[in-house]
Amino acid sequence: MSIRDVDLTPFADMAYWSHGSEVRADMFRQLRDEAPVLFMEEPEIEGLPKGPGFWSVTRHADVVHVSRHADVFSSAQGTTIVDLPQELNEFMGSMINMDAPRHTRLRHIVNKSFTPRMVNRIDEDVRVKARNILADVADTGGCDLVSRISAPLPLQIICEMMGIPRDQWGRILELTNVVLGDQETVPDLPTLMAAVMEMAQIAREVGEDRLAEPRDDLVSAMMHAEVDGEPLSPMEMASFFILLAAAGNETTRNAISHGVRLLTLHPDQRARWMADVDGVAPTAVEEIVRYATPVIQFRRTATRDTEIAGQPIGAGDKVVMWYESANRDERVFDDPGTFDVTRSPNEHVGFGGGGPHFCLGANLARREIRVMFEELFRWLPDIAMTGEPDYLQSGFIHGIKRMTCEFTPTEIPRLEPLGDTP
């Protein structure tokens, strides 16, 4: 089949992105085979000027190449296909939309903040929160998996790490759903900006508190650090919080939701995992992330004339890495359309293709996913999806907005919280 026979019109149709990845598998396979680096038109977004187009990169090797050459493929000009207003791009993106050296220095501060004691506390806290989330729904026999199980866990962990007061957690979840487009329609720019600014105000207040009265936590470390000889402002800290809360939780949220769906559709894989929960967990978590690919794509911008797989790329050209396609690349994965919880090796790009922008929270996400499924297998072993998921309309996040599930009602003993956030 020639690339001329590949229908590319669905890319511009938002309805096309309201389905699971299976509907796009054939098209991405054809692109990998016939045109792995292809120039495409940008979608039209109301309220924003139509962009000049972008290079679509669909093979695993090329995605890794772009990811690992940050000097050639910049993040600072934006990581979304469509150009956002620069102030919104900088504020919402935080470190994601930075290049070295500032990205390196800021990331170093954050990395240093994850001390062994803090990591150990988070590790314990993940299980406490996962158990109590399940305890809240266990006697119902069924619920919306996303709102009651998948979404609360990463948001609770992030809010606690950042020192957000507990009485604000519910509101943060609501605002995060707006920023992620997790509602009936994609938010317009004013609605998006209002949600961003409200989240920023909450986070800024915490930053100002820690600046005045530091504690042994991530926010205090950030507020008392310096980048390029200057301290971070409360607004910069707020930007980082938005990154964690909005862009940093979707992997866990959607991996858990997709994981329950996949185990429902593949009972043999569920049985395989449950027969050896601890032994299979490491490969199962990676396979869920590969197969689901919660982040569909990310964009870079060429800093100079270059090439990808022999295709000339001009300075200033946009380059879009399709992680969803790379994770199904037959050149890397045997039988990539098969969900296999014991798949090894599994060099997926669900957390990025390596390089300086590899997902900062990858290990935390892995831990959250693993613990939640451990708790599900222990307390709600027959949990299963009922009906089809309601997918997020997005070409950026492979999200599930709602998905009903059923399980045998039971009672789950709650665990005592490790301590309230002041």
Q: Is residue 412 part of a domain?
A: no
CA atoms within a 13 Å half-sphere pointing along the CA-CB vector of 21? 31
What's residue 80's pLDDT?
87
Q: Is residue 125 part of a domain?
A: yes
Token output for 161: 């790490």
- Chain-wide mean pLDDT for the chain? 87
Q: Is residue 62 part of a domain?
A: yes
Q: Residue 276 and residue 269: Cα distance in Å, rounded?
A: 11
pLDDT tens digits for range 54-74: 999 999 999 999 999 999 999
- For the chain, what is the domain count? 1
Q: Is residue 413 part of a domain?
A: no
pLDDT tens digits for range 298-309: 999 999 999 999
CATH number of the domain encompassing residue 30: 1.10.630.10
What's residue 386's pLDDT?
97
Q: Give the residue-averaged pLDDT of 342-348.
A: 98
Range of the domain at 291: 3-406
Residue with tokens 């936590």: 217
User: Full-prediction pTM beyond 0.85?
Assistant: yes
Q: Is residue 416 part of a domain?
A: no
Contacts of 286 (CB under 8 A, 6+ apart): 343, 346, 348, 350, 366
Q: Residue 311 and residue 382: Cα distance in Å, rounded?
A: 50
Q: Taking 90 as the threshold, does the pLDDT of residue 250 lie above it?
A: no
Indicate the pLDDT class of residue 4, thresholds 50, 70 and 90: low
Q: Is residue 128 part of a domain?
A: yes
pLDDT tens digits for range 192-207: 888 888 988 888 888 8
CA distances from 55 to 66, 281, 316, 318, 380 (A): 12, 37, 11, 6, 45
Q: Is residue 415 part of a domain?
A: no
